Structure 1
Amino acid sequence: MAGHCTSVGPAATYAGAMAAETAETFDPATETAAGVGVLAARARTASLTLVGLSRGDKDAALHAMADALEAATDTIVAANAKDVERGRADGMADGLVDRLTLDAERVAACATALRDIAALPDPVGEVVRGSTLANGLQIRQVRVPMGVVGIIYEARPNVTVDAAGLGLKSGNAVILRGGSAAEETNRALVAVMRGALEKQGLPADAIGLLEGGREAVRDLLTARGLVDLIIPRGGAGLIQTVVTESTVPVIETGVGNVHVYIDAAADLDTALAITVNAKTHRPSVCNAAESLLVHESVAAEFLPRVLTALADSGVRLHTDPAAGSAADAAGIPHDDATDEDWDTEYLALEMAVGVVPDLDAALAHIREHSSGHTEAIVTQDRAAARRFTTEVDAAAVMVNASTRFTDGGEFGFGAEIGISTQKLHARGPMALPELTTTKWIVEGDGQVR
């Protein structure tokens, strides 16, 4: 049965099986590799209902899901506690435990994210462009849902809620494959949200939860014709596996090897605040800074300040010789940076620090080591800022601002489905518009060619 999805094409093939099974008999927690085809076909059928919903219908459902999550807070937190306990017993790193953990406050934040999505404009039906041709044909390009979107991610339960909400608002059915470390939490969250949809008279299968091992994931990745898009969200290994193995189109969300460059013309108080915030505010996320580059003309003044502040915040420092000398002079512990350090997304209180002779060297270093996520410059020199924003190839480029602002919520998009580092269709924080495609609608009164 492992090849169930790959050997059968269109969703219509599953119509008979779908008719024979009711929502009441479907338990998303029991889906395994053998059931991926049925799960995807159910999502396809649900998507046919979603595409015709009004904004009011979708927003009402989002509010119902938010209310249901808050009402089930105790159940969700209890399920999450099992995952956290198991993760700690398995030696999960503190940063990953932080990503995994849900308490009452974080459940409330998930509910708020759904309400924020409800408040956003509905992208479906938006006219992207249009015109009337000389022959009288009226043409317009409008946004429409993708259909069925598979989302594969690691142990971040908030993504389960964000993805479900964004999928619903954009008219898509979603198949969620969260990390096994969050399996109890994800089961609880999905059960609550599916129940809320049913009470609104909407298909519960608009939100599906895929469990099972690698075969189940592989079947999802090869369910071309049933699944329209795959979005991976996680570490480099996960993303590379999805990109390599998927026959379904993929929007690639990338890792965040993020740099902060302190220019010769930087205000050093501003530079200190930005660097510390970018590294320590929440080190376990992809928009946290991993490397600091300092122009040599301000290094003597700035490095003792910033290295002390970082060390006082518990940051382990990996330094090049120049930064290491400054650390030694200040009595600050550090390691010598290796080539691997410059390419590492630490996702922890660790940072590589180096000194560069000029902006050219900073740009060259970033070109060599950047993952294309977010890069930042701190400078009062407008020409330097313009050159940095022009030459740096990244989804987001910050000038005199923390890298922590690369986020759908901070950009005003509501919850995000991920941050794309590719260059096709979507780049940077992805929210509602990026979960749609377009179709051309042509209206005439009998024209022939």
Structure 2
Amino acid sequence: MDQNRYIISNGVVADGRGVFYYNGSVLVDSGRIASVGPLDDLEIEGLPVLDVGGRLILPGLVNMHHHLYSHFAPGLAPHGPSEGFVEVLEDLWWPLDASMDESSIYWSSLCGAMDSVRHGVTTFFDHHASMNLSEGVLDVIDRAVEKVGSRAVLCLEVSDRLGRERVKNQFEENVRFWSSHRNDTARKGMLGIHANMTLSDESMAFLGRQKPKEMSIHVHCGEGRPDYDFCVEKGYHGPIHRLDSFGLISPGSLLVHCIHLSERDYRILEEISPAVVTNPESNANNRVGRMDRGRIGRFLLGTDGMSGDMVASLRSAFLLDRQAPRLWEGLKDAFFDERYDYVRRFFPDLRGFEIGSAADVAVLDYVPLTPVSEDNLLGHLIFGAKGGNSFMTVVDGKILWHDGKFTDSDLNDVSLVSEARKAALNLHGRFEALDWNGHLR
């Protein structure tokens, strides 16, 4: 089929902010949204028509905080009992990232990006960690993401935990990638920071001095109580106050979790308005608590590497915080409005179903049987779609996934599974042998 000009037809077209057609169609022309409207108004003779059988047609979904490298984590047994948040890091995640090599980074990124596309996610903000490999590592991830066809904003975690020299190398990798992709329409960069509790004041001052003004940070912030306590013990009012003290907070900042905060932290959020990302499934898994929806009314949703499924993350956000104020309104804003506005900082052409927008589309594999409207769309996502398996995923007008298969035959090849399993097996072997410092156990 010619993918230059075609119609996605016979579905419930909705963008969560005003566009709604119960029996609707979307015309894609040269990678752009050319028209959106009722089914009967978009019958153009000679154009390919992809009938989606009444499924939900949405703008491509976005994962605001992901860890692609965690795609190879299933099956790993932590090195210890992991009773607290820091122990989870020391017994599982830090030994894992210390074990990553170029092969495991490429294959986990490729498979993680594929999983995202299978769930209608067209763009993700990835926060990578590999303490023993920094130079060129974002290019490895970029190569994997490009093969799949996704959009992504990439960064490498900066952390002091293996020494100050690593901080400099990690910082330079972030700046190099950010600088080389400033005009890229598919990939962008940010400055990745692990968390306050693994960076000294000297390293934070270095980041504050050297970071280009236009470069935004992507950081775990107040995820566990130890991160908050670390900042207070150093004389700051909390994790956001410490970041701001070194000039690192801006409206473009991506502050992830924001569970353990002080009154001063909340005031800074109000004054500067950085983006806050909550990750409900990860928070529950790590037993770190919940973001205070009464204090943080504007937020975004991520998975924190738990999966590539943003509809499942939305459902979890609903089920795990039923007492939150503005429960429905807040989640609708996070899933649609707030997400659209923030993503446009990086990809200005992503404007949902506006005419002329880049054509990123997710057709969920869900056919509503009960009445669906703009008012109850979120309820259909949470209780109907549940897990957000995609029937069709489109990026920049290119169909990446359709009816259970990738359109790039390479991604359906059984040899891909074999190579990925080999890389994962080798990674698991290194994980068993190494501690979080990268030393033999």
Scaled by the length of structure 1, the TM-score of the pair is: 0.30
Larger relative contact order (CA 8 Å, sep ≥ 6): 2
Structure with greater helix share of residues: 1
- With normalisation by structure 2, the TM-score equals 0.30
Between structure 1 and structure 2, the one with the greater Rg is 1
